[in-house]
Amino acid sequence: MDALFLSNTSLFRGITPEEVTSMLGCLLAEEKCYQKDEVIYRAGDTVPKIGIVITGSVSIEHDDLWGNKSVLDKIGHGQVFAETYACAPGEPLMVSAVAAESTVVLFLNVAKTLQPCSSACGHHGKLIRNLLTISAQKNLTLSRRIFHTSAKSIRGRLLSYLSFQATREGRREFDIPFNRQQLADYLSVDRSALSNELGKMQREGLITVHRNHFCIKSDLE
Amino acid sequence: MDALFLSNTSLFRGITPEEVTSMLGCLLAEEKCYQKDEVIYRAGDTVPKIGIVITGSVSIEHDDLWGNKSVLDKIGHGQVFAETYACAPGEPLMVSAVAAESTVVLFLNVAKTLQPCSSACGHHGKLIRNLLTISAQKNLTLSRRIFHTSAKSIRGRLLSYLSFQATREGRREFDIPFNRQQLADYLSVDRSALSNELGKMQREGLITVHRNHFCIKSDLE
DNA sequence: AATTCAATGTTGCGCACGCAACATTATAAA
DNA sequence: TTTATAATGTTGCGTGCGCAACATTGAATT
């Protein structure tokens, strides 16, 4: 296992490669390979282990009541998944994790680390602090999405999203990390209706758009 | 400060009152009183301290771009707020915290505890594990709301929400913790339209409803 | 430059739902 | 029981937007 690589991930940040190596034992680390489209975790499962993507990528998916599949997230190289469920033992997964390509995953039993008196290995503390940071960040990401989708109109959602991006970037001109379809999914609206609304807003002089590049003209009131 | 009370909160769970007392020093604990409607934290602030409600209650609010105020959460006796921001230092608040009544808040500087080598006090580990649990639970709460609001129709949202509640309760008959207006807000739909849709579903024999008591008749699909 | 395919934009239809206004039923107080 | 107030249900209008179908633009390949 590439301890140097692991020590650069958000989960093991601040832990030296040597320490990482010694920790993998406590964490009952085991590596598994998956072919494209192979299911790693299925919605409804309860999972004890966190996954960390070594090579390839993992798609986090949701099947609604009518069987429509939607991709919620794409977990890449060095990133972690299922950490929320590993930290809330017994909670059934709302999503499935599927290999988006040929993928290698390292599973870690952090549940063990969460027990009261297992601080035998001194670096578990750092690991848990990292987990807390990851969890808090994810919280913010989820909260933001809720904010940006709580407006009832498409324009309202766009204004919420775009003004946040502008504030974050610190300027009125910026790129977004989504194409149209992805932005539509993120805001839970129809893609063509979204394009339509963006066109209107441009004609009204509120913004200029080209592909994923945006410029906010006025103060968006 | 009532250490016995604190040791029964989710934050200090598993820590004895005596240990709690000794920890309050490390955490730079300070108590503050607020009158009704007094602002505790304002959206845009960056906060270093977590808040824990001793008496009274705190309302978590959001003002959208048009100045519409919406209540996102109500933090009661023994519960914690601003923990996400305290764990993701420097992140500006998206919400405001306002005293919903005459309220006493205990502020704790957990940021200090998150630093690498401050494990001087041995119980900080337990505190952080508790924080991680709180954060993971909140994550699940936020994720669920996203799921239940991602459907485009009111019926879709209701089915998603109700079938989750039924699964969680383990039976087809259950109460929900919302009145109509609160449910409408939670699902981001109009209250009257929601009542309307519930009526339709009842007439179609899908469910029976009375106030906040629901019974799911068929398999909902 | 020519070809191909994906991404984005445009248009029109139909309906679900926001919204307002009112009716009805619960809950509590007098 | 009556009265008052909040919670819920009902109705109708107007429209924003989902949806499908097609047009246009952009990017990649040969």
Q: What is the DSSP string of B16-58?
A: -HHHHHHHHHHTT-EEEEE-TT-EEE-TT-----EEEEEES-E
CA atoms within 13 A on the CB side of A83: 25
Q: Is B71 on the interface with A (CB under 8 A)?
A: no
pLDDT per position as a tens digit, A171-188 = 999 999 999 999 999 999
The lowest-confidence range among B111-115, B166-170, B183-187 is B111-115
**pLDDT for residue B187:** 96
The mean of the pLDDT values for chain A is 92
As a whole-number percent, the residues of chain B with pLDDT over 90 amount to: 81
**CB contact residues (below 8 A), chain B span 19-58, against chain A:** none
**pLDDT for residue B142:** 97
- CB of residue A203 closer than 7 A to nucleic acid strand C? no
Higher pLDDT, A14 or A111: A14
**pLDDT for residue B217:** 87
The mean of the pLDDT values for chain B is 92
pLDDT per position as a tens digit, A113-170 = 777 665 556 778 889 999 999 999 999 999 999 999 999 999 999 999 999 999 999 9
Mean pLDDT of B45-51: 94
Inter-chain CB proximity A163 and B133 less than 8 Å: no
Residue of A158, A204, A147 whose CA lies nearest to B60:
A147
CB neighbourhood size of A2 (10 A):
12
The answer to whether residue A221 scores a pLDDT higher than 50 is no
Q: What is the DSSP string of B155-198?
A: HHHHHHHHHHHHHHHTSSEEE-S--HHHHHHHHTS-HHHHHHHH
- CB of residue A189 closer than 7 A to nucleic acid strand D? yes
The answer to whether residue A13 scores a pLDDT higher than 70 is yes
Contact B180, B174 (CB under 8 A): no
Q: Is B181 on the interface with A (CB under 8 A)?
A: no
Mean pLDDT of A96-100: 94
**CB contact residues (below 8 A), chain B span 82-141, against chain A:** 83-85, 87-88, 91, 94, 114, 116, 119, 125-126, 128-129, 131-133, 135-140
**pLDDT for residue B81:** 98
Inter-chain CB proximity A139 and B144 less than 8 Å: no
- CB of residue B203 closer than 7 A to nucleic acid strand D? no
Strand C bases, protein C-beta under 7 A: 7-12, 16-21, 26-27
pLDDT grade for B118, boundaries at 50, 70 and 90:
low
**pLDDT for residue B221:** 46
**pLDDT for residue B111:** 83
Identify the residue whose Cα has the smallest distance to the C1' of D9: B195
The answer to whether residue B165 scores a pLDDT higher than 70 is yes
Backbone angles phi, psi at A157, to 5 degrees: -65, -40
pLDDT grade for A51, boundaries at 50, 70 and 90:
very high
The answer to whether residue B120 scores a pLDDT higher than 70 is no
Inter-chain CB proximity B119 and A125 less than 8 Å: yes
**pLDDT for residue A123:** 79
Give ∠ CA B158-A69-A150 in degrees, rounded to 5: 45
